[in-house]
Chains A and B, each alone.
Chain A
Amino acid sequence: MSCVNVNGKQIAVDDDGFLDDPEVWDEEIAKAFARLEGVDELTDEHWKVIRYLRDYHKQFGVAPMIRKLCKETGFDLKKIYQLFPSGPAVGACKLAGLPKPTGCV
């Protein structure tokens, strides 16, 4: 198991750099992950995506369909990639503290 240092606290992540336990997520962790992903600053637009992902995951136990994410946030896929360069499944889910979507994606 690896750890990421967030303001002096050691946060456990899996081999893909995703949070081991989605429950420990907080905004500081999102900010730390953002820096690792090459995103310098989290804007309101980033937070909108992150909050939607977290809410959906809390309710349904899985990441939402990408199309639904786009529709509900009002951002098209291109915009999501601008916000999270490694994409919705990797970058956005990681910052939101979700497990890495797996399977044929």
Chain B
Amino acid sequence: MKSPLRMAKEQDLQTIGLSTVADDLLKPRLLTQLGRLRGSMRSLAVMLDTCVKCGNCVEQCHSYLGTGDPLNAPPARADLMRKLYRRHFTLPGKLFGRLAGAKDLDSEMLDNWLTYFYQCNECRRCAVFCPFGIDTAEVTIAGRHLLSELGIVPRFMQQVALNLQKTGNNMGIPAPALLDCVEFIESEIEEETGVAVKIPVDRPDSEILYIPSSADFFTNVDTIVGAAKMFHMLGVRWTVASAMLEAANFGFLFHLSAMQDHSLRMRRAAEQLGASLVVQGECGHGWRAARMVTEAASGPVPFELTHILDFTARHLERLSLRKLPLRVALHDPCNYVRAGDLVEQPRRILRACVEHLVELQPNREETFCCGGGSGILMEEMMEIRMKLGKKKAEQIQAAGRIDYLAAPCSICKAQLPHVMNHYAVPEVAIGGIMDLVGKAIDLTSSTGGSGA
């Protein structure tokens, strides 16, 4: 196996309802599942049918640029699946085989799928530069799902999915630990500001259900602090849910049934707490999954769905913000600008919170991925992660002196410190946007309460 990924074993797979498949059943199973996806995910068929190999995307892919591996070029990556698809689902492929760009399944193909579908950050940058709009992320998402159907699952993904199943969040934080975290954060805020700000847990009849990234309760505390201060100042009735403390939806990144489970979990939590508005925290792919597929996966939902940055941007005039004397560079998470309609909101918030907003070049929908996108955060992938982060490091390096790198996504927050260190980019604080809102907000001028 070429990939350094550590894989889930049979007993691990069973914990999340998957299992390995006997060698002789691999091919029929794969073709059945690919046929199903072709029916349910029409975009996939478009992506597989359309490429003319013009090469426009190749030099735009940070994965190819960082690794220099030709199979990481988007057309080559998609071809890993396209060849099999042609062989079994197109007439020319069935009749003329290799002459029609078709190839049948062999062990090398599966090995390549694992290697290269887990070196694609699903960032969609290729789609921006493709004249047909071919989105390799769609192929990667399908490819990882199909691998999981064959019991080929990175251990990291399986463990995250198991944690979500057990506790309602990826970190595996049980409810009593959440209460302990909340108590600690509340006391920190009071110590800092002298104002008692509550982070309600499972409060019934809440207007807003806030779904943070669970990493906010481990490494990124300032992000939840900022959100709590903001809700407090607006005086809205909000809550977090102990059963759904996770904006990230890793199912989207490895197995679509797990994605659906996450979606349903969100829906149940909102219904249980009576929330009419669900606000997602700082998580890139989670927002993309929630915004793009929640209703497709679990049917119409009886609540509105928005993102904390959109929500904050809409309420800026009601927040008492003092500009922080900082030069802040914004790293646009791929999923916000290419799949989440969060392009100008982060900028509006930052202009209200800090004195200098520095744009990385390129930015907005042409942003480069941090290199950890799509859940490539495994320790064993570190060497590859650094190659995937090369373009981002160059961008940050070129931005000159900055005091803070705003990276409003938990994966970016986890990945970027490694990238900066690896490429010897001068040390700078890295955190979310809500972190800065929390620091800029003047709670003492608050007129509202926490809505309690």
A positions within 8 Å CB-CB of B: 15-16, 60-63, 65-68, 71, 89-90, 101-105
A-facing residues in B170-225 (Cβ within 8 Å): 170-174, 176-177, 180-181, 184, 188, 213-215, 217-219, 221
Cross-chain contact B171 with A62 (CB below 8 angstroms): yes
| Chain A min CB distance to B231 (Å) | 20
A-facing residues in B381-431 (Cβ within 8 Å): 410-411, 413-414
In Å, the complex CA distance between A15 and B160 comes to 15
Cross-chain contact A65 with B181 (CB below 8 angstroms): yes
Please, could you name 23 A-B residue pairs with CB atoms under 8 Å apart, sorted by A?
Answer: A15-B380, A62-B171, A62-B174, A65-B218, A66-B221, A67-B221, A68-B181, A89-B218, A89-B219, A90-B379, A101-B171, A101-B218, A102-B156, A102-B163, A102-B172, A103-B171, A103-B172, A103-B215, A104-B213, A104-B283, A104-B377, A104-B410, A105-B414
In Å, the complex CA distance between A66 and B219 comes to 6
| Chain A min CB distance to B121 (Å) | 14
In Å, the complex CA distance between A56 and B434 comes to 28
Cross-chain contact B410 with A15 (CB below 8 angstroms): no
Extra inter-chain contacts (15) besides given A103-B169, A105-B377, CB under 8 Å: A15-B380, A16-B379, A60-B174, A60-B177, A61-B174, A65-B218, A89-B218, A89-B219, A101-B171, A102-B160, A103-B218, A103-B410, A104-B213, A104-B283, A104-B413
Cross-chain contact A15 with B174 (CB below 8 angstroms): no
In Å, the complex CA distance between A68 and B155 comes to 28
| Chain B min CB distance to A38 (Å) | 15
In Å, the complex CA distance between A15 and B230 comes to 42
The reply on B289 being an interface residue by CB < 8 A is no
In Å, the complex CA distance between A18 and B159 comes to 14
List the A side residues contacting B163 at CB < 8 Å.
Answer: 102-103
The residue in chain A whose Cβ has the minimal distance to the Cβ of B7 is A15
List the B side residues contacting A66 at CB < 8 Å.
Answer: 218-219, 221
Cross-chain contact A104 with B414 (CB below 8 angstroms): yes
Cross-chain contact B177 with A62 (CB below 8 angstroms): yes
The reply on B53 being an interface residue by CB < 8 A is no
Cross-chain contact B379 with A67 (CB below 8 angstroms): no
List the B side residues contacting A105 at CB < 8 Å.
Answer: 171, 215, 218-219, 377, 414
Q: Identify which of A16, A60, A65, A104 contacts B411 (C-beta below 8 A).
A: A104
Q: Identify which of A60, A61, A65, A104 contacts B170 (C-beta below 8 A).
A: A104
Known: A15-B155, A101-B171, A103-B171. A60 touches B218 (CB 8 A): no
Q: Give the most central of B169, B177, B188, B377: most A CB within 10 Å.
A: B177
The residue in chain A whose Cβ has the minimal distance to the Cβ of B413 is A104
Cross-chain contact A16 with B171 (CB below 8 angstroms): no
Cross-chain contact A68 with B176 (CB below 8 angstroms): no
A-facing residues in B122-178 (Cβ within 8 Å): 155-156, 159-160, 163, 169-174, 176-177
The reply on B6 being an interface residue by CB < 8 A is yes
In Å, the complex CA distance between A19 and B218 comes to 21
The reply on B248 being an interface residue by CB < 8 A is yes
Please provide the 10 A-B residue pairs with the shortest distance between their CB atoms, ordered closest to farther: A103-B170, A104-B410, A60-B177, A15-B6, A104-B215, A103-B171, A102-B159, A62-B177, A67-B221, A61-B174
| Chain B min CB distance to A86 (Å) | 9
In Å, the complex CA distance between A62 and B219 comes to 13
List the A side residues contacting B215 at CB < 8 Å.
Answer: 103-105
Cross-chain contact A104 with B188 (CB below 8 angstroms): no
In Å, the complex CA distance between A66 and B248 comes to 20
| Chain A min CB distance to B251 (Å) | 14
| Chain B min CB distance to A99 (Å) | 8
In Å, the complex CA distance between A101 and B6 comes to 16
List the A side residues contacting B188 at CB < 8 Å.
Answer: 67
In Å, the complex CA distance between A34 and B410 comes to 29
The residue in chain A whose Cβ has the minimal distance to the Cβ of B221 is A67
In Å, the complex CA distance between A16 and B184 comes to 30
| Chain A min CB distance to B10 (Å) | 13
